[in-house]
Amino acid sequence: MIPVFFGLEGPALTPREQALFTACKPAGYILFKRNIVDPSQVRALTASLKALARTERVAILIDQEGGRVARLQPPHWPSFPPGQLFGEAYAKAPLTAMAAARANARAIALTLADLGITVDCLPLLDVAAEGMHAVIGDRAFGEDPLLVAALGRATLDGLQAGGVVGVVKHIPGHGRATLDSHLALPVVSAPAEQLEADLAPFARLSDAPMAMTAHIIYTAWDEDRCATLSPFVIAEIIRKRCGFDGLLMSDDLGMQALTHQPGGNSMAGRATGVIAAGCDIALHCSGDYAEMAAIADAMAPISERALARLEAAMAWADTPTGDAQGFAEKRDALLAAAHA
């Protein structure tokens, strides 16, 4: 197995994709609108990916947040609200808003589980800030770190209750970025003291099964490398300061934020750089076959620690909802066994 989540070209596996994936054994896959037609087609696609991996627990990701970011859309699937609406409700009635966020996430999870999708890239724990780029916008719960953490927890609980693994993002926080990292490299120059507020929701939800990094430079921590490619940010801020010991994946390798970072325009270079920096998994979304083949050729097998984190994350949805300690104990046992 190699430490990559790959995208797919279209609504069904092609013969060359099947041959490549059989040979390199990616850690999982991610679906986009180009892969979605209708429920029966999606079920057939996820079944083929699980057959290829020979397990029902293969990571099959999707971005089904609600609002603007929804790969599954009407008429086949319901619309779900963006995070901001829950934040606005929280300001009036916190407990009611948390219950609504939990119920909404469970409904999303049940929709995904019915299709064979196992992981949702949700919730966003990005704390909204003045000047925040619209790429986050109403996807964020709000400006109060405690509000974000509370609604993030409720969302994770709802996903877990529906049998789907959650991913907190974009660690260590996208809210202060004034550029879209899909198109450019954001630089956040706030001092470390101010960044504590951005870290707070991630620290409170450090028991989450998976997290996705931000392609953002935080000059207080690393003036040269974005978080995804910064050994210091990953080891000292994400792992130690936030206390996150779950599966850490990069954001998409194809984003323009990485153009002038280590790896340059080479997808293989970006992928190996992400792993070298400390991410467990590199995320490659485009479905471009040539890029996937190059990445597969360049990647070493997944590490024992990363594999243990992946296995623990995929078992998270089977843990009783709200049993953070139980999940942490299972994850720690798997990690210990990987180093026995």
Please state, in angstroms and rounded to a whole number, the distance separating the CA atoms of residues 225 and 248: 17
Number of neighbours of residue 193 by Cβ within 10 angstroms: 8
DSSP 153-198: HHHHHHHHHTT-EEEEEEET--TT--S-TTTS--EE---HHHHHHH
Please state, in angstroms and rounded to a whole number, the distance separating the CA atoms of residues 295 and 284: 9
Mean per-residue pLDDT for 331-340? 64
- State residue 331's pLDDT score: 64
Mean per-residue pLDDT for 321-335? 64
Q: Tens digit of pLDDT for each residue in 268-315? A: 999 999 999 999 999 999 999 999 999 999 999 999 999 999 999 999
Please state, in angstroms and rounded to a whole number, the distance separating the CA atoms of residues 118 and 8: 16
What's the pLDDT band for 337 if we cut at 50, 70, 90? Answer: low
φ, ψ of residue 272 in degrees (nearest 5): -70, -35
**Catalytic positions, please?**
182, 251
Residue type, 117: I
Residue type, 276: A
Q: Tens digit of pLDDT for each residue in 52-64? A: 999 999 999 999 9
Share of the chain above pLDDT 90, in %: 92
- State residue 340's pLDDT score: 56
What's the pLDDT band for 319 if we cut at 50, 70, 90? Answer: confident
Segments of 24-151 assigned E as strands: 26-31, 59-62, 64-66, 69-70, 119-120
Which of 255, 195, 249, 250 has the alpha carbon at shortest distance from 222? 195
31 three-class SS: strand
Please state, in angstroms and rounded to a whole number, the distance separating the CA atoms of residues 5 and 167: 14
At 18, list the tokens. 């099947």
- State residue 280's pLDDT score: 98
What's the pLDDT band for 330 if we cut at 50, 70, 90? Answer: low
Residues 6+ apart with CB under 8 A from 181: 135, 174, 214, 215, 216, 251, 255, 256, 257
42 three-class SS: helix
Mean per-residue pLDDT for 78-102? 97
Domain extent, residue 209, equals 2-338
Q: Tens digit of pLDDT for each residue in 251-273? A: 999 999 999 999 999 999 999 99
- State residue 318's pLDDT score: 86
- Here the CATH number for the domain that contains residue 317 is 3.20.20.300
Q: Tens digit of pLDDT for each residue in 122-147? A: 999 999 998 899 999 999 999 999 99
Residue 323 has pLDDT above 90, yes or no: no
Mean per-residue pLDDT for 74-84? 97
Which of 224, 125, 123 has the alpha carbon at shortest distance from 165? 123
At 250, list the tokens. 């990069």
Q: What is the pTM assigned to this prediction?
A: 0.94
What's the pLDDT band for 34 if we cut at 50, 70, 90? Answer: very high
| Residue 86 near residue 138, CB atoms below 8 Å | no
Number of neighbours of residue 223 by Cβ within 10 angstroms: 11
Residue 80 has pLDDT above 60, yes or no: yes
Query: Per the structure, how many domains does the chain have?
Result: 1
CA 74, 101, 250, 327 torsion-angle sign: negative
